[in-house]
Structure 1
Amino acid sequence: MSDGTVRRGRRGSKSRGSGTQRSAEPGQNPHLEVPFIKRGIPTYDLMNEDSLEKIEATADRIMAEIGIEFRDDPEAVALFRAAGGEVTDLGPERWNIKFAPGMIRQILQTAPEVFTQHARNPKNNVEIGGDNVVFAPSYGSPFVMDLDKGRRYGTIEDFQNLIKLGQSSPWLHHSGGTICEPTDIAVNKRHLDMVYSHIKYSDRGFLGSITAPERAEDSIEMARILFGAEHVDQNCVIMGNFNTTSPLVLDGVTTQGIRAYAAANQGSIHLPFLLGGAVSPLTMAGSVAQCLAESMVSCALTQLVRPGAPTVLASFLSSMSLRSGSPTFGTPEPALGSLVMGQLARRLKLPLRCAGNFSTSKLPDAQAMQQAMMSMMSAVQCGANYVLHSAGFLDGLLSMSYEKFVLDTDLCGALHAYLNGVKTDEDSLGFDALAEFGPGEHLFSTQHTLRHYQTAYYDSALDDNQPWETWDEQGEVDMAARANTRWKKLLAEYEAPPLDPAIDEALRDFMDRKKSSMKDMWY
């Protein structure tokens, strides 16, 4: 995959691709149901050439003059040393590495500009990079919440419910990863149940574990059981989402996990989690420059391990409430930063992950959706290719909300229509709609209207567009209550995509053997 083209491996066998294509939600436009979005609108270029060069030059200065600290992974250090990095020993298992301007960009030239992540249902394969957009659920929350039970620690049942909700929506394209932490399972074993749940309850692509090198290896091995070892060696079927330790640190758990995914030819996402004023400069240009430096170095490690391994540049830019020190999400400055990251990713010819339906609201309310829209539109406009956190993000990422999950997927449906753009073929221009009956006549019964009335506009599953009087007579139900009813209905109607029984048995056997080999760890 070193030439930047899409690798199209073998289509899944019967055992791997046995899921059926999902059906569109009631009342929504079937013509928009797609395995991923091929954008029909241009990206928005916020900065001019001079400004972009200044940010790139600052990122180069960070890498060359300050450097990146590596911890607890001498093998990663050896790879960068051999590639020309200037290594300084800082003491036990700590090294600073500085990179001459241009060195990291040169290493990244073997990374693919676009790659395919294969799903067990080949109809749900996604292409990541270029003009493609992939929406995935939120990731990493320890808590879950709904209007009935309130806020509580997540369980494996919640984890599986959220996978089912994602699978039930045609507006998501990917099953995601740690949708919530299943805190009722031991820390050192829950990764097995999470990966298995993605395989069992979804037939889309998914993310594996990254919390320890051995858990990364387990995730990849489960993917081999599902797809076959040869298929996995030649195709991306699983990805890991890796955070740098900002500012300017890559710890050994992270780099060993990155090396495991890259060695197996699997995808990896490289994400600095930057809180302005805490672990990055307050000013957005400074945060973007730091983000670029950290993510580029992290991505470069994959290419030193296996040139051509799929890798994704990423950013998580956040402002802060400087009165309290709390992170703030869905604010305008990080949205602008995402626009700049889109330009920088295109200049590097790397796929980009950034933004999502972010919010610090504690309820699925107006604040939640106002902040989510600000952030999500920046992902759409900047050209993000993989949008994690597309559904469920609430409480500053501490909580996954059942109600906000379906509110967000509804918004994702609207964004499908938005990204589809405006067609200008003869039929779309609609001249015959006006000409059929002429001036002064309504168009309800024209042939043009009859051809298009089912697909012309996005039809929300949650909006209430009735007159006030009808809404009042029906009980004055607000959006959050409608979302509560919606997710319960989706779970009640959910049907798991078929999974080959032999593969299911092999996965369960692998999990049982791994779990029996170690004692439970809860910390």
Structure 2
Amino acid sequence: MNNATNSAKSTPRKTRRGSRSHDKRTGAPGQNPHLEVPYIQRKIRTYDLLDETSLEKIEQTADRILAEIGIEFRDDPETVELFRKAGGQVTETKPDCWRIKFPPGMIRECLKTAPAQFTQHARNPKNNVVIGGDAMVFAPSYGSPFVMDLDNGRRYGTITDFQNLIKLGQSSPWLHHSGGTICEPTDIPVNKRHLDMVYAHIKYSDRGFLGSITAPERAEDSITMCRILFGTDFVDKHCVVMGNFNVTSPLVLDGVTTQGIRTYAAANQGSIHVPFLLGGAVSPLTMPGALAQCLAESMTACAITQLTRPGAPVVLGCFLSSLAMRSGSPTFGTPEPALASLVMGQLARRLNIPLRCAGNFSTSKLPDAQAMQQSMMSMMSAVQGGANFILHSAGFLDGLLSMSYEKFVMDTDLCGMLHSYCQGFEVNDDTLAFEALAELGPGQHLFSTAHTMRHYQTAYYDSALDDNQPWEHWTEQGGIDMATRANQRWKQLLADYEAPPIDATIDAELQAFIQDKKDHTPDLWH
């Protein structure tokens, strides 16, 4: 058994176990042969798009960007000093702003202490996940200011929406992680909402989650809440929370970001480092150029963690997008960034660092055919490319501006299909099924054979949303389309939701911490 799912020594203090196994076909309580561990252990091979020479050219260009152009750092002299001591060539370009150029190979040398894989521990140890290697973790979408559903349309997100979406994620056996800013709860002050968000992940899910990164003190609050939940000693020795950090592309790391990175790393917690690259706007239009920039930026951000605390958990990140060149609008789910995601997988494996990239991306404004076509293009690139942590696995619509309830459950259904796809299949006497044909002989159907009876419940993924009935039955039942079925499903999932149990003493301590912080902090709405 993988070390992420056992060992009493790694169990957090007094946390109660409240997860349930799920049926492969419907997500109802039951046995699931694909969930022996609470993440995917991929058995299909990664798709390596580029040859050695091409990969080396991208890496050499990334090194050239770092050596000849450099990275601009703002408002964080402590991080600048870390790089200066490590060999970076620092020039102060204006007050509190520095350009650092890195000798070839310096950043790669810094990254040699980064772990090839690590475990993020959940409050329910059965839901610990491995990040790296052959493990693949699906997490919900992240960062949308708006939410939408078929009943109420598009609107600003609230804390109720935030809680609902966490509950939907917890209800799906096909997600492995609770995510982070699953939507922006705009009904709570900006400088206090992180407390309610982290608490919602703790309260309504017993999986791993992402903490706040919008200010260093909010990152510290997230870690403090984890210390209350898991115990201080446990947190110092184990990753229990991660922060998802964006580079300010092109080639800038601001002080809020770098201070947050150092906060997580100093506490031995994980961090994900993601350039948000829009081709033609903040990165080259051509994918090899965008990849070189992405590699340079992400490696530099990752290096901060190792200079702060060697061995701190870290994830290389990649978020590549094309643009509609007639309008300048971002486009998602297009083929060129999907190809680049495949290559980013190759580059991450050469660095021997876990990777986050792609997801169920779409610019569609509705949970429709465009939404799922674009999502499939993007998501398959992450799966085939070997990504280890796939954020945006559920709910992404409207170019990430909106989180859709219907798209959420449509995406989780797709994630269920990918569980089966990534397992591949074994070839043995049982799966070759000679006796299934031999039992009744030519011209006889196989419905009643022993082989069919033995395998019919688990042989195929059975979608909770697809309608596979004949046309006549479908029309007799109202001719309901996928989006409407998804609307019905998320409502039923929320109605059936049961919160995982949490230790009452720990819960009270968390609430007291939150209340104290709020009482001593004036509201800030912008």
For normalisation by structure 1, the TM-score amounts to 0.98
- Quick one: which of 185, 202, 208 aligns to 1:199? 202
User: Contact conserved, 1:138 with 1:391, CA < 8 A, in 2?
Assistant: yes
Aligned match of 1:171: 174
1:31 and 2:30 correspond: no
Partner SS for 1:364: coil
- Residue 17 of structure 1 and its aligned partner are, at CA, apart by 3.8
User: Contact conserved, 2:21 with 2:32, CA < 8 A, in 1?
Assistant: no
The amino acid that maps onto 1:314 is G
Deviation track 1:452-505 (CA, whole Å, cap 9, x = no partner) reads 100000000000000000000100100000000000000000000000000000
User: Contact conserved, 1:390 with 1:408, CA < 8 A, in 2?
Assistant: yes
Partner SS for 2:441: coil
1:88 and 2:85 correspond: no
In structure 1, what is the Cα distance between the partners aligned to 2:174 and 2:40?
10
User: Contact conserved, 2:273 with 2:298, CA < 8 A, in 1?
Assistant: yes
1:108 and 2:111 correspond: yes
User: Contact conserved, 2:12 with 2:231, CA < 8 A, in 1?
Assistant: no
Deviation track 1:300-328 (CA, whole Å, cap 9, x = no partner) reads 00000000000000100000001111000
- Quick one: which of 150, 153, 177 aligns to 2:153? 150
Aligned match of 1:12: 11
- Quick one: which of 271, 274, 277 aligns to 1:271? 274
- RMSD (Å) for aligned C-alpha atoms: 1.3
Aligned sequence identity (%): 75
The 5 A counterparts of 1:364-375 are 364-375=367-378
Partner SS for 1:177: coil
Instruction: Give unmatched runs, 5+ long, in structure 2.
Output: none
1:350 and 2:350 correspond: no
The amino acid that maps onto 2:33 is H
The amino acid that maps onto 2:190 is V
Aligned match of 2:364: 361
Aligned match of 1:380: 383
In structure 2, what is the Cα distance between the partners aligned to 1:489 and 1:155?
20
Deviation track 1:279-336 (CA, whole Å, cap 9, x = no partner) reads 0000011001000000000000000000000000010000000111100000000000
In structure 1, what is the Cα distance between the partners aligned to 2:26 and 2:113?
45
Aligned match of 2:238: 235
- Residue 440 of structure 1 and its aligned partner are, at CA, apart by 2.0
1:478 and 2:481 correspond: yes
- Residue 87 of structure 1 and its aligned partner are, at CA, apart by 0.5
In structure 1, what is the Cα distance between the partners aligned to 2:428 and 2:10?
34
Aligned match of 1:319: 322
Deviation track 1:81-103 (CA, whole Å, cap 9, x = no partner) reads 00000101111100011111111
- Quick one: which of 492, 511, 515 aligns to 1:512? 515
User: Contact conserved, 1:9 with 1:234, CA < 8 A, in 2?
Assistant: no
Deviation track 1:122-176 (CA, whole Å, cap 9, x = no partner) reads 0000000000000000000000000000000000000000000000000000000
User: Contact conserved, 1:9 with 1:231, CA < 8 A, in 2?
Assistant: no
- Residue 13 of structure 1 and its aligned partner are, at CA, apart by 4.5
- Residue 11 of structure 1 and its aligned partner are, at CA, apart by 3.0
Aligned residues: 519
User: Contact conserved, 2:39 with 2:176, CA < 8 A, in 1?
Assistant: yes
In structure 2, what is the Cα distance between the partners aligned to 1:467 and 1:14?
53
Deviation track 1:39-72 (CA, whole Å, cap 9, x = no partner) reads 0100000000000000000000000000000000
Partner SS for 2:98: strand
In structure 2, what is the Cα distance between the partners aligned to 1:183 and 1:457?
42
The amino acid that maps onto 2:384 is Q
Bigger drift between 13-22 and 470-479 goes to 13-22
Instruction: Give unmatched runs, 5+ long, in structure 1.
Output: none
- Quick one: which of 298, 306, 310 aligns to 1:307? 310
In structure 1, what is the Cα distance between the partners aligned to 2:320 and 2:104?
24
1:49 and 2:48 correspond: no
User: Contact conserved, 1:6 with 1:114, CA < 8 A, in 2?
Assistant: no
Partner SS for 1:390: coil
In structure 1, what is the Cα distance between the partners aligned to 2:466 and 2:173?
17
The amino acid that maps onto 1:365 is D
User: Contact conserved, 1:433 with 1:448, CA < 8 A, in 2?
Assistant: yes
Aligned match of 1:208: 211
The amino acid that maps onto 1:245 is T
The 5 A counterparts of 1:325-474 are 325-474=328-477
Partner SS for 1:10: helix
Distance 1:508 1:22, change over 3 A: farther
